[in-house]
Amino acid sequence: MRRRALLAAVGSGALLAGCADRTAPTAGTPSDDGAATADDTTTDRPGSPEQVDIDSRFYTEPCPDLADAGWWIDPDDEVRCYHRSDGDEAVLLEPVSEVGTLGGTVRMRLHNRTDEAVPFGPYHWEVLRYDRSDGAWRSATDRDAIEDYQDHVEPGETHEWDVQLAVDGDAPDDETTAGETVAFRPGRYAFVVAAPDPGDLVHAALFAVEAGDDPPVPDGALPDPESSAFRGEACPAGLRCYHALDGDERVYLRAEPETVALGETLSAELCNWSGEEVTLGPDHWAVKRREGGEWVSADRREIRTDLGGVLRYGDCWDLGGRVTVDAADEPGPGAGIEEAVAFEPGEYRFEIDARGEDWERRFAARFTVVEE
């Protein structure tokens, strides 16, 4: 990581989770519940600022392209990124930490090193998420940024935001939060504010969000096996059956609907809400049909045994498809259930192998096929 010289600010103000504190106290350290604490002391105006080193993990990265970032951000505005700064900027947005964990917070600090007050909007901020699929930065929240510059950062002082890394996007019960918070997932983000000094400037600070060992889970994300039509039935040894789960499993396979008519679509999702990466074989699955007391193979295809797919926190991989009476004569690797299985009314089981950091299991989900 590269280090750059930066002029240190010596005064501070605080804005907690998007809520302005007009008394501008000095921000303290985060408390156990993720909210910041504060005291009533303020510091003097700048005299001879000391130089400090800034160590950014993103020093090799370019500034975000804000073309798709949000309605209030003009792509023609100058973008000033903390990790690409020279250290002598008069106004700078600093991430106190460039890494956060789901359920925690990351703190952002806007410095004013000028001799004049700098106008800014305490609610005029945006959180952007980096999309790995196309490399674009897009808004991660549907809140409205309040486009005003009603407050000022006084000379030598700072203003702070605590970004709550919630997984459900629920806003705190406070009208001054100006909308919903972001539903965070692991990945790369940018906190963006507008603070002209003068000119049209957008300040950006990158940060990473990690899942942690036991990450929080949005309401309704974990399985509900109690509602399964097959609840109470035995699960064969060696399988992790959905209908026999306890309900708090972070990795599971679910078939929906559990009763599907010929010609309709079956969803067979393997989901991961754990703090580890799960690998699976997108073509390493099987459909079995119940015939008497036995389960026999119902698909005609070559099964590939590699586990090349990756599920990160919050990812689900749907391996289902249309349930049809016809199948391809020679379904090869990559064929889905519509091409590989000739269905008829009866009881079925979808199976797939997956692997974690220190485990490998075969997951199974029961479903019934009925006439159209």
pLDDT tens digits, one per residue of 335-370: 889 999 999 999 999 999 999 999 999 999 999 999
Structure confidence at residue 294 (pLDDT): 93
pLDDT tens digits, one per residue of 131-142: 988 888 888 876
What totals of helices (H) and strands (E) does the chain contain, helices first? 1, 28
pTM of the model: 0.76
Which positions ≥6 away from 290 have C-beta within 8 Å? 346, 347, 348, 349
Assess contact for 243 and 231: CB atoms under 8 A: yes
Assess contact for 116 and 155: CB atoms under 8 A: yes
DSSP-derived letter for residue 33 is T
Q: What is the DSSP string of 127-144?
A: EEEE-TTT--EEE---PP
pLDDT tens digits, one per residue of 196-227: 655 567 899 999 999 998 899 998 899 999 99
d(CA 241, CA 232): 11
With CA atoms as reference, report the closest residue to 125 among 76, 69, 85, 64: 69
The percentage of residues in the chain with a pLDDT greater than 90, rounded to a whole number, is 46
Cα of first residue to Cα of last residue in the chain, in angstroms, is: 61
Cβ atoms within 10 Å of 292's Cβ, excluding its own:
6
